[in-house]
Amino acid sequence: MNDVTEWYLKHAKKLDKKYYNKGEPVYVLHRRTLMAAKSIIDLINDIPADDLYLELYMLVKDKNFGSFVGRYQYVLEMAKEKPDVFTEQLYDFYLKMASTIKKNNYYLRFFEFVSYFQNEDMKIMDTKRQLVYRAYTNLLMNQAEFLRKNKFEVNKMVAGVTTKGELIEVDDICPNLDSCVHEFEHIALTAPEKLKPDTMFRIYEKRGYKINSWEDADVLRVTQQLHTNSVAYLTPYINEFTIDIIPQKRFNPELGMYLKSIPKLLKDNDTLKETLCHRRKTLSSNGLKIHFENSTFMKDVLLKEIYHNGAIVCLYRMETTQGETAGFYNTQTKQFASMFAFTEEQIILLGRFVETLILWCYAAFVGSDTNVLPTSESYNDYIFDKNADVTFTSIGGKLRVPTEIKHIRTIAGDDRYESEIKHISGYIRKLPDGQKASERALALAQSLGYDLDDNETYVQPFERSSWIVKPEH
């Protein structure tokens, strides 16, 4: 396809004629699907068909994802062969796949499938292959629009799955924002004579956004893109115990003068990553909070560990003077995920700062390197933020659900009792005198990067049910 823009405008006009008057939720969902189709075609447009088919075959060869592989792969091949047919059928394809996933409770399996492509994307250096992975990732990420309990609640975002397989949704922190873009484009396509100098401002204002220029609108767009990417990449790791990792405040990407306030980096991350391969501690059951008093840029960091696919993954949410951001670090693959790495506006300086900061916080608390300690002095060895006073607070006690989500089952034939599911985090346990850890426990600890003393063992995460009397009884 030589002109993707011309192709897109053709389909946008056709879609607007059919769905614009069907109600905003219906229209928005169709528009989002069209934008997904455009992003996919943009990515694969310059890849020769034979090369694309080979890459699609090789990237999931021998991977155990069942029917997901063939069905999504066929759709990407259609995007290359018959882009018009692909675009016209994509909405119905998403509907059918959503029905299958919901009916069979394949949520966890689907998000593992998404996670595979996201993680591979972070490792690939070859440009052509990376474009194919990103096209695949975009196709999968938009599927989440159709997994919501009510797909037309377009201001809700799928954020994860509980430990019992129930979908978790959160509110979009930029509600109705893309509706502004769609409405302006609709007027431009169907009645350009109605466009006035203040048309855009009025469209945004009626949905609660005060803007004064095109630049303001673009800042909002990037803000939403950053948050959407952040939630999408965290989804495989979010359950009822980690839901508080999802950012609750917008991150303003219009850094401008704030770039000068980002503290300078003094060392690279290699030492920190090596320290995290030889950890002496686990994070507390409900995580670790790090507070930065008098910092030029930082406010707070929340860290939580989760056991995922045979690795310990550290989830982080950080609050800055510009808002909140979140991501994760896989201690086995040493992959660091930051939302700044997957946007068209890559902020290299900020991305490096985020990685160094989070790795230092994590290593300072769980590592055994005496040169990396949970102190302000150690912080300033890696990041020059001389006025910052850093304090660590371990959040222990019983594992808590930070939302209203609960898993309740009743005893058959007796409604006086209910069982509550407790998720127990992995931890290092001291052994009684004379006892030693089993070979299995030692091997597991070593594979996860934990260094155990002779009188210690590692207890891997597990779930436990306990029966309790209902409050009304």
Dump pLDDT digits (tens) for 83-111: 999 999 999 999 999 999 999 988 988 98
Q: How far is CA 217 from the centre of its chain?
A: 24
CB 219 within 8 A of CB 254: yes
125's tokens = 């250096």
pLDDT of residue 81: 93
Taking CA 90 as the corner, what is the angle to CA 88 and CA 91, rounded to the nearest 5 degrees? 95
CA dihedral for 149, 102, 418, 413, sign (positive or negative): positive
pLDDT over 70 (residue 55): yes
Dump pLDDT digits (tens) for 278-311: 888 889 889 999 999 999 899 999 999 998 888 8
CB 353 within 8 A of CB 383: yes
CB 411 within 8 A of CB 469: no
CA distances from 116 to 69, 233, 236, 314 (A): 12, 11, 10, 17
CB 324 within 8 A of CB 227: no
Task: Quickly state the pLDDT bin for 259 (edges 50, 70, 90).
Answer: low
User: Any idea what DSSP says for residue 263?
Assistant: P
CA distances from 457 to 211, 213, 436, 444 (A): 57, 60, 7, 10
pLDDT over 70 (residue 456): yes
Dump pLDDT digits (tens) for 408-448: 433 344 455 455 555 556 767 777 777 777 766 666 666 67
